[in-house]
Amino acid sequence: MTSKRWAGHALAALLTLSVAAPAMAQADRMVPIAVPAQPNAIPLNTGPLPGAKTKESWHSQYNSVFARNVTEATLTPFLPDPAKATGAAVIVAPGGGFRTLSMQNEGWDVAKALADRGIAAFVLKYRLNQTPAGMADFEKSMAAMFSSVARPTARPNPEEALKGLAPQIADSRAAFALVRQRAGEWKVDPARVGMVGFSAGAMLTVATVLDGQAKPAFIGDIYGPLQPMTVPADAPPMFAAIAADDPLFAGKGFGLIDQWLAAKKPVEFHLYGRGGHGFGMYPKTTTSTGWFDAFYRWIVMEGFLKPKAQ
């Protein structure tokens, strides 16, 4: 199977599970909503998605909100109280299979929690692959992809599959460039800008490291791919978390963790007993809910809340 076909199956699975979280059996339906006001969203000027014909739309599900058919990338700052500001910053990449974005559960809510801890956060609304404009047709297209996900597929080198993310990687690069350009205004240390991604957003986070241009100071891979791939010589410290009952990535090995360790790069890995896929900031009774506190303590432990000694 070609890497392009592998990417299609993988992205469909990411969407299936991100949208279906927190409970696959839950009957909540996707309900179209008006595009919300986003007064603080800053255009990244990476251009419109090539060939896009369908306009951006939003829907609600599980008391959360999702964006679809994003054609223009933006970055939304969530800045801490100046009295709390540490100078550290995190770019937050929501998941959704590169076909939708879990803007609330894996974006705004994460950014607010980081800002409350004194960390400047920036939610990246990156460009997405196009989906049908109508909700009914969108749901039908998802059902068609669900059936393909159920079939076992080969899993080639992830680095090959990541080559299909050119627009999203360009958006990620632009986000880092903007944060560093306005670091003085936002009271951010350009050397302490990290990135955390969820599901497809975690795939984008790893791709950003592999791309080698944005150079995040640290990364968080939250229920993202853990397959082995080449670890760059300048790879940053990594925090990874996943639930053992994640139907997409769990049980398929932890090659990425092994290779980070083999490369002698700092890595912390949390394997939660339960939580499924897409738990994010949803309140759940599983221990996976503790990932955020663990991520914050890891950032503290690695010294990113303090300026590096000159």
Domain span at 48: 3-301
Q: Can you give 206-233 as a three-state secondary structure string? A: HHHHHHCCCCCCCEEEECCCCCCCCCCC
Place of tokens 């990687």: 169
Which residues is 240 bridged to in the sheet?
Answer: 221, 269
Amino acid making up residue 138: F
Domain CATH for 46: 3.40.50.1820
Q: What is the pLDDT of residue 221?
A: 97
Per-residue pLDDT at 152: 44
Residue 307 resides in a domain: no
CB 305 within 8 A of CB 88: yes
Mark 271-303 as b/e (b = at least 16 C-beta within 10 Å): ebeebbbbbbbbebebebbebbeebbebbeebe
Instruction: Record the pTM.
Output: 0.90
pLDDT of residue 1: 34
Of 169, 118, 131, 163, whose CA–CA distance to 306 is shortest?
118
Count up the domains in the chain and report the number. 1
Task: Give 150's contacts (C-beta < 8 A, 6+ positions apart).
Answer: none
Tell me, yes or no, whether 7 lies in a domain: yes
Q: How far apart are the first and last CA of the chain?
A: 50
Within-domain flag for 153: yes
310 assigned to some structural domain = no
* 208 lies in some domain: yes
List the chain pLDDT tens, one digit each, 310 residues: 333 333 333 444 444 344 444 433 343 788 999 999 999 999 999 999 999 999 999 999 888 999 999 999 999 999 999 999 999 999 999 999 899 999 999 999 999 999 999 999 999 999 999 999 998 888 877 666 545 544 445 444 567 767 889 999 999 999 999 999 999 999 999 999 999 999 999 999 999 999 999 999 999 999 998 989 999 999 999 999 999 999 887 678 899 999 999 999 999 999 999 999 999 999 889 999 999 999 999 999 999 999 876 5
CA distance 145 to 13: 8
Cβ contact 272:253 at 8 Å: no
- In 3D, which of 192, 267, 275, 260 has the Cα closest to residue 228? 260
Task: Name the pairing type of β-strands 120-125 and 74-78.
Answer: antiparallel
Burial class (CB in 10 A: 0-12, 13-18, 19+), 231: buried
What span, in angstroms and rounded, lies between the C-alpha atoms of 39 and 27?
A: 33
Q: Is residue 152 part of a domain?
A: yes
Please identify which residue in the block is written with the tokens 């963790």: 257
Q: In DSSP terms, which residues pair with 59 in a beta bridge? A: 32, 66
Could you tell me if 286 and 272 are in contact, meaning their C-beta atoms sit under 8 angstroms apart?
yes
Q: Is residue 306 part of a domain?
A: no
Answer yes or no: is 309 within a domain: no
